[in-house]
Structure 1
């Protein structure tokens, strides 16, 4: 838990951006009248991104010491009218709109997780910020390097760190703003360097032991899955687990009962390519699997009787860094600083729009249902975290009309690429036994 009265982060001109106490800051609600085209120049290094942000802050007419709003000191304030209240946004103006930005100068954003009205953000400052109803609610810190992944499971928060360990946090039942660390996993001998869905891979006891402390979960299985680092792992339908690796493959694993427990066995290789697989997402409702790669492409597979390659979505100039699904929508964030919004329609995918506004690679995405949307419309609140040290909040509708933009490799405003040739698929030939630890 962050202590009250500690010093806040300061901008390049010395004015305070945020304090470390439990003061309340809102996402500024702003109206975005244009979806900007992608920048022609892509900044690929963190130092160049920092320089860009620093120069933007220094030259902004809003960077005034007397201003009380953190958005007024934002690099994006000069591009939008931050004084427009949220209630004044015309619902008929745009289906996909930038609603606001959260800017802190304490670190690059690497991870996001949302559950209901709560949003968790992780950065390389080692801080985990908690936002409730789009107001700053709480925060806690771990001295374990940058926060690479966040998973919310009931009243527990799992955070994956640069040191290869996962910290387990318990939300206080008396005060939801208090987060207590109740465990660290794996043990010294069992390092796991990629995020995963914790409940499927570790025994998690939900009751206190005799001493009143929460026991540390233990690793119950370890599988040698790839020839290079595993960049993404996600559980899907029918008890399947999907992994994507820097070795260029996407693999499928099935979970089977063995004795009193379960083990995971290799089932199928969906993709084998030269480019690294950087992200994997699954839509459990439509049983579609998506993978993003360092070449900027998104492959997808559909399940009928078996998983078959459906096509390739072409919308990015640089590597895809994150993927999520929400309803019939697919969101892909990229090193080119853009977010592609795709809608699945039958066997095809239509590119609805390109969301721009970040000044650095988009590293993480999270979405929740917009409770204020009409009964006839499905809208989502999309959160995007970037290495430009900001989190942006977007309102996206499944009913929006496709907008012409320059992101598609073919130059077409609508991308329907499911007729592309299938990627290689291999039936399982071997079973990989788990290695007990």
Structure 2
């Protein structure tokens, strides 16, 4: 194992049940429906835009002066009137256990699932290993953590539920396997009827009702009541693989996406366990690989990542509850494989080996790409992110895993409000009475990862 950062290995558990740097470019997509197919907008650091923009840029750089050669922090984007974003990779490790498919965060721990039958537990944020859970089946495609419960899916198309504690040592105990084993003499064998017929690719948990949703390559979604470990509903959700499922904790709506190119919204029938389709969001034919839901006090946005490299988003109407297409974010060169949303930030991982950081403007559909995190040498397969509050800036921890078999942790710091920069400019421009945004048009030019370009030129693409 190669490990960069703090290292230290703690007690391992070997049984299934245990008793005891970004290019200086800022891409922006206009996202009103009438401009949905328009050109991208970009702040280019090499061009002058306006005196107010220059003053705003000076404000940013006075807050975040350029780092010394010894500093690990990187400023991205450079010399623009948008808020500064600082980031650096604080830990990177490589294990000879195959690809990492899933990441979950809870209780100060990060869990990873891979080709092997071991679910690793890492301490946040330095990724010191606390231990691992060894299951009887590997290929852990999906992990979900809630409180002290950990849900994992395995190659045998079953779900395992674990209870874990963190004190001096990491301890765990298997609570159940879904579906439950059926006594040999019992007929019919309900467990075989309830079990998925193919790989379980995704999970989501509805806290209020204690319902676990699983999506599979067998095109079905199943709802499990965790309290009594029963499958309470199963329905064919799509015409092809179900790739992601998320739940709105505010109203219990279930969102699914598929290789068939569609995103669907499901709602439980009142006082019943069955689910009904309420809306199909089909915008293009490209397979949809990932979903993320961003909910705040006033807004609810749904994001979907597609194989054509775009991220579509929908905004929920307050009165009707319908989701209206708000636009799409462009920048990734190849397929978007994973998404994570925290506050007004959206993190996207792509086949082009990069992670992009997008921010939604307060009270609108306007998005901007704040940075491109470049460090992986293969497609970014999964992401997880959490908030890390600091005094002046908003801090985030981003965990990423790639098909280059590396697991990385990034610390990201963002100025809290965009208006800080413009307010600074306004105080230095007495003739300006209204706040505007100066933009410049340019021909679309997605940012390529330098590592990807190097590999491509060498003819060893993603090897």
The 5-angstrom pairing of residues 217-366 of structure 1 reads 217-236=229-248, 237-258=250-271, 261-285=272-296, 286-304=299-317, 305=319, 306-345=322-361, 346-366=364-384
Q: Is the 8 A contact 1:36 1:357 kept in 2?
A: no
- In the alignment, the residues of structure 1 paired with residue 374 and residue 72 of structure 2 have an alpha-carbon distance, to the nearest angstrom, of 19
TM-score after normalising by structure 2: 0.64
Whole-Å separation in 1 of the counterparts to 2:129 and 2:338? 25
2:225 equivalent in structure 1: 203
Instruction: State the alpha-carbon separation in 2 of the partners of residues 356 and 327 from structure 1.
Output: 22
SS at match of 2:194: coil
**Cα 1:384–1:328 shift into 2, 3 Å:** same
How far the C-alpha of 1:202 sits from its partner, in A, is 1.7
Q: Give, in whole Å, the separation in 1 of the partners of 2:241 and 2:251.
A: 25
Provide Cα deviations, 1:155-189, integer angstroms capped at 9, x if missing partner: 11100123321111111588761222221113332
1:420 corresponds in structure 2 to none
Give the deviation of 1:102 after TM superposition: 2.2
Aligned 8 A contact 2:130 2:169 in 1: no
SS at the partner of 1:189? helix
Q: 1:229–1:246: 8 Å Cα contact kept in structure 2?
A: yes
* Rg (Cα) greater in structure: 2
Give the distance between the partners of 1:155 and 1:350, measured in 2 at CA.
Answer: 36
How far has the Cα of 1:282 moved from its partner?
Answer: 0.5
Contact 2:333/2:446, CA 8 A, preserved across alignment: no
How many residue pairs align between the two structures? Answer: 322
Larger displacement relative to structure 2 (392-401 or 323-332): 392-401
Greater RCO (CA < 8 Å, at least 6 residues apart): 2
Q: How does 1:22-421 map to 2 (within 5 A)?
A: 22=11, 34-35=21-22, 95-133=86-124, 134=126, 135-172=128-165, 177-186=170-179, 187-192=191-196, 193-198=200-205, 199-200=210-211, 201-205=223-227, 217-236=229-248, 237-258=250-271, 261-285=272-296, 286-304=299-317, 305=319, 306-345=322-361, 346-371=364-389, 373-374=390-391, 376-399=392-415, 410-411=444-445
Displacement of 1:263 after TM fit?
A: 2.7
Matched-pair contact (CA < 8 Å) for 2:118–2:138:
no
What SS does the corresponding residue of 2:86 show, helix, strand or coil? coil
Question: RMSD between aligned alpha carbons?
Answer: 3.0
Q: Which runs of 5+ in 2 are unaligned?
A: 13-20, 26-69, 77-84, 180-190, 212-222, 422-441, 448-463
TM-score normalised by length of structure 1: 0.67
Distance 2:411 2:9 in 1: 29
How far did 1:111 drift?
0.6
Over 3 Å counting, the alpha-carbon distance change for 1:37 and 1:278 in structure 2 is farther
Deviations 1:340-364 (A, max 9, x none): 1100012211011111110111111
The whole-number CA distance in structure 1 between the counterparts of 2:282 and 2:170 is 43
- Structure 1 partner of 2:184: none
CA contact (8 A) 2:133 2:172 kept: yes
The alpha carbon displacement at 1:307 in A equals 1.1
Task: Output one character per residue of 1:271-318: Cα deviation in whole Å (capped at 9) or x when no partner.
Answer: 243211111110121300001111111100011242110001112111
Distance 1:409 1:387 in 2: 31
Q: Secondary structure at the match of 1:188?
A: helix
Question: How far apart in 2 are the matches of 1:188 and 1:357?
Answer: 43
Which residue number corresponds to residue 423 of structure 1?
none
1:96 Cα offset (Å): 2.2
Contact 1:343 1:398 in 2 (8 A): no
Supply the distance in 2 between the matched residues of 1:98 and 1:367 (Cα, whole angstroms). Answer: 14
Contact 1:107 1:123 in 2 (8 A): yes
Where structure 1 has 5 or more consecutive residues not aligned to the other structure, the ranges are 1-8, 12-17, 24-33, 39-83, 206-214, 403-407, 414-437
Q: CA deviation at 1:105?
A: 2.0
* Counterpart Cα distance in 1 of 2:24 and 2:134: 37
